[in-house]
Copies of this chain bind each other. A is one copy, B any other.
């Protein structure tokens, strides 16, 4: 028997690439140097990130578009910790991901060296599966298990912790078998029960769509059911990936603000959840309801997370006799180009007017973006990726990962100024990889959403010290300079005409470009009586309902 000279790191990379995992977002240190040195003997593409939150968010964005995991390569507990917020978002997005985390050599941990920490504890919050590989001979097997868990149903995050000596010792064996059982459909009984609800006469039924049924095939199935049975469709507030635009069934999103969401949900007798949870508010507010299912509305759920959501909704099409229905598809329709002083709505109009075919939008535009859904509804077919876990600083990394997943699709990152600064280092990797990503920063010089939240939680006594905590105007952030610092060209715009021109140019010329879009903080001094304005965010809300809301909440 010949000696096995394969080091652990090589067995690991080969196992990953055997499973089709060929992109890795990295921020390595000393304990990952053997992985790094084996890159040249592999098909693994490693994308260097200057901060770990960029790497983890990028792996999330990659998975959303590629429908398969990327790996991350992170340095001990602190590196993994720096990636935690975007790992949280990825967990809530239910994407597959494999974190590779280097650790001190097994015989070194007893010394409690400076970087020593409890990596497994750091990994707990977001990982379905955590393992510290003990022997080099096990590395391939452990990696294969990590991959199987990640790519199962539901998709999950696996974290594989590798001591430096486990990586550098010989005796590694790459795995090739990654087969996992096919996820089952929902039971015949449940299908029948839900079909019965849908066919019931004289009842109002809402179908709330989530995660895995938000791509064209799932939306088409849902639209057939809705049309056949007279049900209303909504999607969850923050979809992992929503396909939309001309030719795709149009489905409104549940609003972020409870005041609006409760209007959308009012009056239904049944709510059918398809791969999502019963709607709740993002935060609690004093004296307000957090659970948004109306009293007297009966909940049903088509699938568990372990079941095949797309297959089940297609089975439901059949069960309600909707196979031959041709549902209404969104017609192609673009807004006209805006003019005058720029604001969030005009930016949305310009985006709707200019969005290229097959684009990917990574959306964390926050308060400046409320009109984007309405104005892009009839734009060419596109995907929108949203802030699934609420931890801001996601949109830039997700845009990076999405662009790596498909270099032929234009990517548009829409980001609030406050949000962008958590992971601004992403711009460097976008330039390094020369990706076709257009970044729009909505620069209103404030954490605008917090001005609203401050009112909503009923916090009193907000004086100058409190307001300074929501204000990022002093010093003002100059995103053109920040981009230039990382090699990205950009322009600052203050009028709609300038924005139109910059956006058109950014879409026409491939490669990275940033637009620093100066917009007013529209919600400054926000009061509940301003909600009718906010309601404009609900695209296509029937006039009757809009009027009812205005009557209800006007001062």
**Chain A residues engaging chain B, CB cutoff 8 angstroms:** 26, 28-31, 33-34, 36-41, 46, 48, 50-51, 53, 77-79, 81-82, 84-85, 88, 92, 104-105, 107-108, 111-115, 117-118, 121-122, 124-126, 164-165, 168, 238, 277, 280-284, 286, 290-291, 388-391, 393, 418, 421-422, 424-425, 428, 431-432, 450, 453-454, 456-466, 468-470, 472, 474-488
Contact = CB atoms under 8 A, between A and B. Distances in A.
A321 to B, nearest CB: 35
Contacts of A468: 46, 48
A484 to B, nearest CB: 4
Contact of A284 (B108, B121, B281, B487): B108
Contacts of A48: 468-469, 472
B284 A428 contact: no
B33 A78 contact: no
Contacts of A488: 475
A81 B77 contact: no
A390 B114 CA distance: 6
Contacts of A470: 36
Contacts of A389: 78, 114-115
A291 B422 contact: no
A144 to B, nearest CB: 24
Given A280-B111, A282-B113, A425-B421, A454 B290 contact: no
24 contacts: A34-B457, A34-B459, A37-B460, A38-B466, A39-B463, A39-B469, A41-B461, A48-B469, A48-B472, A77-B84, A77-B88, A78-B390, A79-B391, A81-B85, A82-B422, A88-B117, A104-B284, A105-B284, A113-B280, A113-B282, A114-B390, A121-B125, A165-B284, A168-B286
A118 B123 CA distance: 11
Contacts of A28: 450, 469
Given A85-B82, A284-B104, A466-B36, A484 B474 contact: no
A499 to B, nearest CB: 20
Given A85-B78, A115-B391, A477-B486, A284 B164 contact: yes
A303 B464 CA distance: 48
A478 B484 CA distance: 7
A84 B450 contact: no
A398 to B, nearest CB: 15
10 pairs of A and B residues whose beta carbons are closest in the complex: A475-B487, A81-B84, A40-B463, A482-B485, A105-B284, A37-B459, A481-B485, A78-B391, A108-B284, A111-B280
A124 B121 contact: yes
Residue among A118, A125, A418 having the largest count of chain B Cβ atoms under 10 Å: A125
A284 B460 CA distance: 55
Contacts of A281: 108, 111, 113
B284 A40 contact: no
Nearest to A456: B30
Given A421-B51, A453-B30, A484-B478, A114 B77 contact: no
A26 B165 contact: no
A238 B115 CA distance: 12
Given A481-B481, A486-B482, A124 B114 contact: no
Contact of A125 (B53, B117, B286, B393): B117
Contacts of A107: 284, 290
A486 to B, nearest CB: 6
Contacts of A77: 84, 88, 125
B469 A26 contact: yes
A461 B26 contact: no
A469 B77 CA distance: 20
A213 B463 CA distance: 43
A92 B486 CA distance: 32
Contacts of A466: 36-40
A363 B283 CA distance: 41
Contact of A418 (B50, B121, B165, B457): B50
A156 B193 CA distance: 57
A108 B40 contact: no
Contacts of A26: 469
Contacts of A432: 474-475
A280 B114 CA distance: 9
Nearest to A104: B284
